[in-house]
Structure 1
Amino acid sequence: MASLSACNATELTPLLGSAANATAAAEYICTRFTNTSDSFTNITYAIDNTYLLFSAYLVFAMQLGFAMLCAGSVRAKNTMNIMLTNVLDAAAGGLSYYIFGFAFAFGVPSNGFIGKHHFGLKKVPNEDYDYSSFLYQWAFAIAAAGITSGSIAERTQFVAYLIYSSFLTGFVYPIVSHWVWSSDGWASASRTSGSLLFGSGAIDFAGSGVVHMVGGIAGLWGALIEGPRIGRFDRSGRSVALRGHSGSLVVLGTFLLWFGWYGFNPGSFLKILKSYDTSNTYYGQWSAVGRTAVTTTLAGCTAGLTTLFSRRLLVGHWNVTDVCNGLLGGLAAITSGCAVVEPWAAIVCGFIAAWVLIGFNKLAEKLKYDDPLEAAQLHGGCGAWGLLFTGLFAKQQYVHEVYAIGRPYGLFLGGGGKLFAAQIIQILVIIGWVSATMGPLFYIMMKLKLLRVSREDEMAGMDMTRHGGFAYVYHDEDDGSSHPPAGFTTRRIEPSGSGPTTINGSTNNVV
């Protein structure tokens, strides 16, 4: 296409001989070549944008997966509450990311810390971004918020979700994505101005750190500050399982998330019409897209199977919920290096990710940390392992194709320690940034009594006290009844400073 657009009538005229109309013929031919070149360029843009939009739709479908996974993992009396928070993540996150988030993340030109252009999508589309870019990145932002909602499920006030979801998607997450994914970001492997971190930049292709660690660490602080659910640990400190009410929803949510991951990881190429080697017409970025889908699949499958057999040895039975969480841990881990590792390496990634999740779950029990969906352990722990894995196993050829020739690659494959060092720095700064922003936010909300619901509401279930009624008739093991406690009514405002009062022998909540 470049040769077509470079057609020059002056240079072409002598080649047409001394005919009187040679100049006119040359100009006509060049005009036709230029028009053809423009048509190819337009087609390329159309195909790449269609590919990105399709990937955005897949990633957005993960919200349904999160909703089903969360719903199945909590007790039935909180089903409406957790599904509503997933809707809120998308809705509130959409507005905050439109107004602020996209500009903070990708508003180039800017400095290495934060973007400063395109607020409210001003001057979009342009040579760097189209509307499809915003949609795709928004789907990533709300995925991070969805991870956090799982950690603080079953005990969090609705207003707290509004506050943290808007703050996370509008400010906290966009800053991290700017650092790692923007062409101006200080840690970005795609940086086009200034020096690269350790001459490499941090490779986090689809977001093991940017998305999963951010959501997981935010959820960790929320759950720590709120404390465990009532009944999660007995008086002697022993762990008591508060099982989710529907394994079917957990499996459905897992498959929906797995399906969406094929937009999450392969879609992060952003473009598909790009050739890597002109001598191999069959090989190009479309091949790398397919390879990324394969590594994603193998890591998830390996982690799921590893969890299945390891949990069988540890607890003595086959548990579908554990397998689903293990599979998702493998997918979270491979997300960083999915585009730059061999399929065999993805199997190693998934195998270790399963043990990382099991280890963090054991640690959480000892520390009396309560996370209903294991979100901090799964997304935070396995996400961190994914970054380290990339620094160890990234293949030279793939790094050069996806990023640039001459870049450092995996330590175990002879590429030196520069990439691995950059990965460690990314882990540390994400932990520090999210802790410094989300930790104080949750602490302030807790002090203002905006974070955790009352003991009475938590025991009764937020569906009845906050959302107008139960999702369906249910039976929870911890209450021994299929009926709501007498006298509990829906609160109209939250938080309420008043406690329950007794009228004619029944308990009522005063608004």
Structure 2
Amino acid sequence: MAAAITCSAADLHPLLGGAANASAAAEYLCSRFDAISNKFVDTNYAVDNTYLLFSAYLVFSMQLGFAMLCAGSVRAKNTMNIMLTNVLDAATGGLFYYLFGFAFAFGGSSNGFIGEHYFGLGMFPSSSFDYGFFLYQWAFAIAAAGITSGSIAERTQFIAYLIYSSFLTGLVYPIVSHWFWSADGWASPARSDNLLFGSGVIDFAGSGVVHLVGGMAGLWGALIEGPRVGRFDHGGRAVSLRGHSGTLVVLGTFLLWFGWYGFNPGSFLNISKAYGESGSYYGQWSAVGRTGVTTTLAGCSAALTTLFGKRLLSGHWNVTDVCNGLLGGFAAITSGCSVVDPWAAIVCGFVAAWVLIGCNKLAEKFMYDDPLEAAQLHGGCGSWGIIFTALFAKKEYVNEVYPGIPGRPYGLLMGGGGKLLAAHIVQILVISLWVSITMGTLFWFLHKLKLLRISTEEEMAGMDLTSHGGFVYEYCDEVELPNLKNRLNLTSKDSSVI
């Protein structure tokens, strides 16, 4: 943010000649000049905060995208359950991020590991943060929780959702975001005395901080729970349990696409900043636009690669696969969207599509069941995005987006050496280890306490009926209605919910 330009009456006085009232005139002119300068500074703050708030609204709209994508990707008998979990990710995450999460993420510290201030938004607003910044970061936190909910869909007890979502948004995710996004985080690129190869990690909008965290948490939840009933036959071959609505999948995908323009370009946090002399046509607004372009091209490239790749492998044009491929491209470009050229974004999306296809093949081989492909998409493609940034980050863009450190490392393939790549490999390892220790342990305890997975009978009947009072549709799946009533011991009064 530019400081106000000052005016000195002592400097102005000689220019007004020796008139008797020259001193008073100089003081008056300077007071008017200072008032106008302060108005420009205030306007600058207002513009930047309005941009940040609008970006926060866009990122929050992604919750609707997640909800629709999840609803379309599960069977109809579990639709109400998965939509309710998406609502509660936002509500539960809001309270826990307010109480603890924001402070752990951005509260300042002496060791670079965890924040210590702003619990319950104490001392807000300040010269460092305003309320719009909290709102924006909360929207990111609940996005990570929404990723995890897709991995454990259709077989998880409702209480487990509430517990893991609170833990993830209140502790696990905030500490990771402190490491890489807080000004004093041990691996932050904004830290002048950076502890990680003198570089820090360029994870601009969170391929690692958001997507890898959510994907790894979902991976452990799904592994500990095991696959859904009927997902694999007795010989270990995969059986398709298709989602009930391709329409909702497409709707959710487009909503997520729209929200990603707040997720990636919005991560600049401000827009009214010139690169070089003021008055130039080139500035942060140009970088914001470039980031929107790289985001778009990565998604488009991944979607088309998935379309033809799956056609070659399966012989079908599958809309769900294409939507997931598109989102995989977005997850991958999220790390380097601000520091790569548009042509590199196309490469990013192309590789991300094959990463997703390969991860899905491995998941089937090892009998891993993830209804939304969330761990493969966000974890696998997110990891590729971290590596991609370390290979293709352009020196000019890196110095513009992360100024103030001469000789900062940039992409290996762009001539910047291997320090950034080494830092990014460390990021993948420490996030995977941290989430495995925290979320893996949590899911294991929930499993041991029999709070994680529902019974086989409940799973066959559908969670909408057994946990939420009835199906969201006039629908009955896989079993005949009379047998379902007998199996659940429903009375004639209870059976009206069916």
TM-score if structure 1 supplies the norm length? 0.94
Written as runs of structure 1 = structure 2, the 5 A alignment for 1:405-416 is: 405-416=406-417
Q: Equivalent residue for 1:470?
A: 471
Matches of 1:161 and 1:279, distance apart in 2: 50
CA shift for structure 1 position 406? 2.8
Question: Match of 2:484, SS?
Answer: coil
Q: Equivalent residue for 2:443?
A: 442
Q: Equivalent residue for 1:495?
A: none
Q: Equivalent residue for 1:381?
A: 380
Written as runs of structure 1 = structure 2, the 5 A alignment for 1:278-357 is: 278=277, 281-357=280-356
CA shift for structure 1 position 111? 2.8
* CA deviation map 1:195-252 (0-9, x unaligned): 3421111000000000000000000000000000000001111100100000000000
Question: Match of 2:400, SS?
Answer: helix
Q: Equivalent residue for 1:430?
A: 431
Q: Equivalent residue for 1:485?
A: 484
Q: Equivalent residue for 2:128?
A: 128
CA shift for structure 1 position 394? 0.2
Structure 1 residues 487 and 2, CA gap change in structure 2 (3 angstroms): closer
**2:155 matches 1:152:** no
Q: Equivalent residue for 1:42?
A: 42
Matches of 2:328 and 2:141, distance apart in 1: 19
Written as runs of structure 1 = structure 2, the 5 A alignment for 1:40-439 is: 40-192=40-192, 194-278=193-277, 281-404=280-403, 405-439=406-440
Q: Equivalent residue for 1:497?
A: none
CA shift for structure 1 position 282? 0.9
Matches of 2:317 and 2:81, distance apart in 1: 29
CA shift for structure 1 position 279? 7.4
Q: CA RMSD of the aligned region, Å? A: 1.8
Amino acid at match of 2:436: S
Matches of 2:110 and 2:350, distance apart in 1: 40
Amino acid at match of 2:357: I
Do the aligned residues in 1 keep the contact of 2:275 with 2:400 (CA within 8 Å)?
yes
Matches of 1:28 and 1:279, distance apart in 2: 27
* CA deviation map 1:467-487 (0-9, x unaligned): 0100102354xx154788114
* CA deviation map 1:87-142 (0-9, x unaligned): 01000000000000000000025430000000000001101100000000000000
CA shift for structure 1 position 12? 1.6
Matches of 2:44 and 2:152, distance apart in 1: 44
Matches of 2:480 and 2:104, distance apart in 1: 49
Matches of 1:85 and 1:292, distance apart in 2: 31
Do the aligned residues in 1 keep the contact of 2:229 with 2:460 (CA within 8 Å)?
yes
* Number of residue pairs the alignment of both structures matches: 491
Matches of 1:484 and 1:57, distance apart in 2: 47
Do the aligned residues in 2 keep the contact of 1:142 with 1:169 (CA within 8 Å)?
yes
Structure 2 unaligned regions, length at least 5: none
Q: Equivalent residue for 1:454?
A: 455
Matches of 1:84 and 1:445, distance apart in 2: 20
Amino acid at match of 1:102: F
Amino acid at match of 1:446: H
CA shift for structure 1 position 280? 6.7
Q: Equivalent residue for 1:498?
A: none
Do the aligned residues in 1 keep the contact of 2:3 with 2:41 (CA within 8 Å)?
no
CA shift for structure 1 position 437? 0.2
CA shift for structure 1 position 11? 1.8
Question: Match of 2:344, SS?
Answer: helix
Identical counterparts, % of pairs: 75
Question: Match of 1:124, SS?
Answer: coil
Matches of 2:416 and 2:174, distance apart in 1: 30
Structure 1 residues 182 and 122, CA gap change in structure 2 (3 angstroms): same
Do the aligned residues in 2 keep the contact of 1:58 with 1:259 (CA within 8 Å)?
yes
Question: Match of 1:485, SS?
Answer: helix
Bigger drift between 396-405 and 89-98 goes to: 396-405
CA shift for structure 1 position 291? 0.3
Matches of 1:342 and 1:77, distance apart in 2: 45
Matches of 1:7 and 1:300, distance apart in 2: 50
Do the aligned residues in 2 keep the contact of 1:465 with 1:488 (CA within 8 Å)?
no
Structure 1 residues 2 and 252, CA gap change in structure 2 (3 angstroms): closer
CA shift for structure 1 position 382? 0.2
* CA deviation map 1:166-185 (0-9, x unaligned): 00000000000000000010
Matches of 1:287 and 1:166, distance apart in 2: 38
* CA deviation map 1:371-392 (0-9, x unaligned): 0000000000000000000000
Q: Equivalent residue for 1:25?
A: 25
Structure 1 residues 418 and 294, CA gap change in structure 2 (3 angstroms): same
CA shift for structure 1 position 442? 0.1
Q: Equivalent residue for 1:494?
A: none
Matches of 1:41 and 1:503, distance apart in 2: 67
Do the aligned residues in 2 keep the contact of 1:474 with 1:482 (CA within 8 Å)?
no
Q: Equivalent residue for 1:493?
A: none
Structure 1 residues 420 and 482, CA gap change in structure 2 (3 angstroms): farther
* CA deviation map 1:54-74 (0-9, x unaligned): 000000000000000000000
Matches of 2:2 and 2:241, distance apart in 1: 63
Do the aligned residues in 1 keep the contact of 2:73 with 2:372 (CA within 8 Å)?
yes
Matches of 2:164 and 2:113, distance apart in 1: 21
CA shift for structure 1 position 419? 0.8
Q: Equivalent residue for 2:14?
A: 14
CA shift for structure 1 position 6? 2.4
Amino acid at match of 1:64: L
Bigger drift between 351-360 and 28-37 goes to: 28-37
